[in-house]
Chains A and B, each alone.
Chain A
């Protein structure tokens, strides 16, 4: 048996429902404010890694983007490119050969850029080291940077509140 088509439905008029966006706007505004508060203009200086945990410091000096030398628990990197392994460090010499040649190469390039494109070469470098790096290795890295034209050294830390 077929049903009789509903009479009520036949005469129903559709009227457009307005989507209520007010609550969504509230949420968005809060998110927007939060993100504005954490806004940074310097951009990412370090790429996070599991074997690189920065130490905490009370220093409030803001970092700038410069060439970085990262010393993780296993590797030494120059601007995120692996240069040598920590295990390869020669315990007798104070200069790390591979790091030294990489830094001098970069310094030469930077000086070339200074001549060609007038990008000033400041000799600034940021050392990004894991908090458990022993002093001996850290000193060798600092010494190597200092002997290869990059002599304005900065240590990167996490700001403590």
Chain B
């Protein structure tokens, strides 16, 4: 017995519109939620190292120990006329070779010469690298009283990391302390 020919060819395909209303409902809910938690300004932080309060009045034993430790205490001071670089022993002198001049004077247009400072610090880092200083990764930043905060943050950018000749990011002095002018 032969089968009855299929009726399929006579099927009328009815076009059903896609019901996207549930998806739309979801979107309407999702958008306010995401809008609420959207961050349009990307924030970041800079960590500072500060000794805990009261660490200065340690016992005598600790003091004796502290004296044995070798510390370099590299300091960069921002002044109106440029950067001073130095440590407890003394400060680098500028090109004019007088002690009052900053090591890296400001550029002619009045902005700070961050790139030169970074080159100088890379040089210092290479010199002190293998001499066993405990604080060879840290640096003390100081500034004149009315230097603005933005300059200090900019300085931190330049002294914490640098790019070497191959384009890799290298640590310069990532541990940043803040101090006052001695």
Contacts and interface: CB of A to CB of B under 8 A. Distances in A.
A157 B145 contact: no
Scoring B46, B144, B145, B148 by chain A CB atoms within 10 A of each residue's CB, the highest score goes to: B46
Q: Which of B28, B48, B148, B149 has the most CB of A within 10 A?
A: B149
Interface stretch (B2-10, B81-89, B152-160): B152-160
B53 A147 contact: yes
Contacts of A36: 34
Nearest to B34: A35
A158 B45 contact: no
Contact of B44 (A138, A149, A153, A157): A157
Q: Is the interface of A mostly helix, strand, loop or mixed?
A: mixed
Interface residues of A, number: 57
A88 interface: no
B149 A135 contact: yes
A93 interface: no
Contacts of B30: 32
Nearest to B21: A21
Given A22-B20, A25-B23, A159 B148 contact: no
Contacts of B39: 38-40, 42, 44
Secondary structure call for the B interface: mixed
Contact of A151 (B45, B50, B149, B180): B50
Interface in A9-45: 18, 21-22, 24-25, 28-29, 31-32, 35-36, 38-45
Nearest to A123: B52
Residue with the highest number of chain A CB atoms closer than 10 Å, among B17, B43, B78? B43
Interface of A: 18, 21-22, 24-25, 28-29, 31-32, 35-36, 38-46, 54-63, 126, 129-136, 138-139, 142, 145-149, 151-159, 161
Given A39-B37, A56-B150, A136-B145, 9 more contacts: A25-B27, A55-B149, A59-B160, A61-B44, A62-B43, A62-B45, A131-B150, A135-B152, A159-B42
